[in-house]
Amino acid sequence: MLVKQIQYQLMLFFRRPAALFFVIVMPVVLLALLTQILGNDPIPGQTTTSAQFYTPALAVFGVVTACFTYLAVSTATSRDQGILKRIRGTPLPPSVYMTARIISVTVIALISAALVIASGVIFLDVEMQWDKAVAGLFILVTGGLSFAALGMMVVALCRSSETVQAVVNATLLPLAFLSEIFIRPGRELPDWMIWTADFFPLKHFSVALGNAFKPSLEGYGFTWTDADDAFSVLPEFLILLAWGLFAGVIAVRFFKWDVRL
């Protein structure tokens, strides 16, 4: 039953050209643009190229577009259309339906991220760090789920899909500029910008995946350490987990299958 529902949700995604464009095509286009504009030379003060930075950053952007933006907007639209209410009137357990929606966006997110990374590796000489890949995949999935929870929180707190769309874009885009996604580090940012970015989960997500692409770091990623040259995704994972749990609790508490009831 769950598998069937996931299939339906995936099928619906692939029938929505606009969603397909923003989630699957856009991150690759941005990767091409940013590396073209900024050149693919080593980042000043670091040994890596800008593609080595932008590939994981835009993979994260794709994941967030799928798990946060697309999940929130599509779910709110289905609610506006009365589809959620209609489903609620069938024997399909509501938890199965919602789980299917969340798993399907996670699958979409992984497809999007895989495309960005593959483009980086094939066209922009990005070096895969295979020893860090497991931790990278782990953070992609957990980060995706955490942002899915945030997306559902937005749906639960807003009444219409228009509002959801506005809230989602107004939060994601500015944060993406502060969170080492569109703008690579190097320039001095004002303190308040850094604090804002450190507070929200997006930067931790992009830093964690970014580290999985840094040749200078050592390790598999699952260690607690303060060493500067050690690779660990665990601190970021904890922050993403905390945000995910917080958002999930609010989403479950306030979610309605039909705002008119």
Nearer to another protein, 161 or 232 (CB): 161
Site size for another protein (CB under 8 A): 21
Rounded Cα distance between 81 and 83, Å, is 5
The correct pick among 47, 81, 216, 225 for binding another protein (CB under 8 A) is 81
- The answer to whether residue 255 forms part of the interface with another protein (CB under 8 A) is no
- The answer to whether residue 89 forms part of the interface with another protein (CB under 8 A) is yes
Interaction mask 115-154, another protein, x per CB under 8 A: ----------------------------------------
Question: Pick from 260, 244, 71: which is nearest to 160 by CA?
Answer: 260
Region class of 248: left (phi > 0), else alpha (psi between -120 and 50), else beta: alpha
The correct pick among 92, 107, 157, 167 for binding another protein (CB under 8 A) is 92
Other residues' Cβ atoms within 10 Å of the Cβ of residue 71? 29
Report, in Å, the least distance between residue 181 CB and another protein: 30
Region class of 5: left (phi > 0), else alpha (psi between -120 and 50), else beta: alpha
Rounded Cα distance between 31 and 118, Å, is 11
Nearer to another protein, 39 or 93 (CB): 93
Give me the residues that bind another protein (CB under 8 A), please: 1, 4, 8, 11-12, 15-16, 78, 81-83, 85-86, 88-93, 258, 261
